[in-house]
Amino acid sequence: MDPSEVLEGTGLVIGQLESHTTRISYRQLDTVIRNALRLAGDPAIALRSGARMHVTAYGMYGYALLSSATHAEARDFAARYIRVVGPFCDFDLSYDRETVVATFQPMHWPNPTESVHRFAVEFALAAHLTTIRDRSGQGFGFSRVLLDYTPPPSAAAYRDLFGCPVLFNQHHCGYEYIRSDGPRALANPRTHAMAREMCEEILGEVNRAGGVAADIRRILIEQPGRYPSIEAIAEQLDIYPRALRRRLEAEGTSYRSLLSEVRMRLAIEYLRKTRMTNEEIASRLGYSDAANFRHAFSRWTGRNPSEFRGEEGL
């Protein structure tokens, strides 16, 4: 494929992809995936591409994984810092005494019937298999793979790559494997600490760049008094509600906190710049009555609305 054709419609040029400072939006990524699917003529392109993503391709994130003291530490690190590498899928990890279960949710493509949803899942599955093998040895394998869509044209490639039962038409996507928490041969505490510190800085940059919290603030500010539920916002952003909650948690916030923050900002603006009564502000902010608004405002600022206006000389 011609890289320039794959980038068509994104506003990106090849040179930008060679810079570590380039940030690519999920809208641009969606365009790239659709272009690749159209141009490739290969139903297994996502599996083949993901399988080439060795752990060293992830920079400091990869070095932190390789230098982790134990397999358990590597798992926990991967889950916490996955957003550093701009993943296709969010994922949850759970385990019992014998089995690790990873559950996938494509971040921006929730519809299982869409080819882009399948691309995201296939790429993530193959990439996870490759990176875990890089850490654990080529003998590693999944116990089984679960997928929330019907068997695609690339179904045979699944069996070839994963070498385990592959179950379609499930309630979620993910994989399972035999748990191992023991020490790792490549453990290096100094390297891990350095790489982890850099990943923490990068994660902070990603979060400060806005993330979904900025999108939710914008939506809430645009609809004062008619605040949508988190489920409605997730649908608007084309993200699973559960994935949205996890991304907000990773950004150090929650929908409830954002709603409270927006209400407080608007309340202060109304008190400073308008002559609206408490009853009018309460209605504008979606409170059932003025008493609830006064209570909330006092909780936010330590003052009631009248005291605030008095101190502001309004």
Q: Encode pLDDT of 257-282 as tens digits.
A: 889 888 888 888 788 778 889 999 99
**What confidence category does residue 301 fall into, taking pLDDT thresholds of 50, 70 and 90?**
confident
Q: Which CATH superfamily is domain 210-311 in?
A: Homeodomain-like (1.10.10.60)
pLDDT, position 69: 95
> Residue 144's beta-bridge partner residues?
176
Distance of alpha carbon 105 from alpha carbon 117, whole angstroms:
9
- How far apart, in whole angstroms, are the C-alpha atoms of residue 89 and residue 26? 11
Confidence band of 209 (pLDDT split at 50, 70, 90): low
Q: Is the pLDDT of residue 24 over 70?
A: yes
Phi, psi of 188 (to 5 degrees): -150, 95
pLDDT in tens, 107-117: 778 778 889 99
The sign of the CA dihedral 30, 15, 211, 130 is: positive
Interatomic CA distance for residues 259 and 45, integer angstroms: 41
pLDDT at 36: 94
Give me 16's structure tokens: 């930008």
Three-point CA angle 176, 179, 185, nearest 5°: 125
Residues of the chain with CATH 1.10.10.60: 210-311
Q: What is the mean pLDDT of residues 196-204?
A: 85
pTM: 0.69
Q: Are 105 and 240 in contact (CB under 8 A)?
A: yes
What is the pLDDT, as a whole number, of residue 139? 93
Lowest pLDDT segment from 21-30, 156-165, 225-234, 248-257:
21-30
Contact criterion met (CB below 8 Å) for 30 and 120: no
What mean pLDDT comes out for the span 43-68?
A: 93
Judge contact between 254 and 262, C-beta under 8 A.
Answer: no
Query: Beta strand 99-106 with 173-178: parallel, antiparallel or unpaired?
Result: antiparallel
Cβ-Cβ contacts under 8 Å for 150 (sequence gap 6 or more): 168, 169
Side chain identity at 303, as an amino acid letter?
R
Question: What is residue 53's predicted lDDT score, i.e. its pLDDT?
Answer: 95
Give the model's pLDDT for residue 312: 57
Confidence of residue 21 (pLDDT cuts 50, 70, 90): low
Residue 106's pLDDT is what? 85
**For all residues of the chain together, what is the average pLDDT?**
88
The per-residue pLDDT for 250 is 76
pLDDT category of residue 218 using cuts at 50, 70 and 90: confident
DSSP code at position 65: H
Token look-up 């453990």 returns: 187
Which of 178, 190, 169, 173 shows the shortest CA–CA distance to 69?
Answer: 190
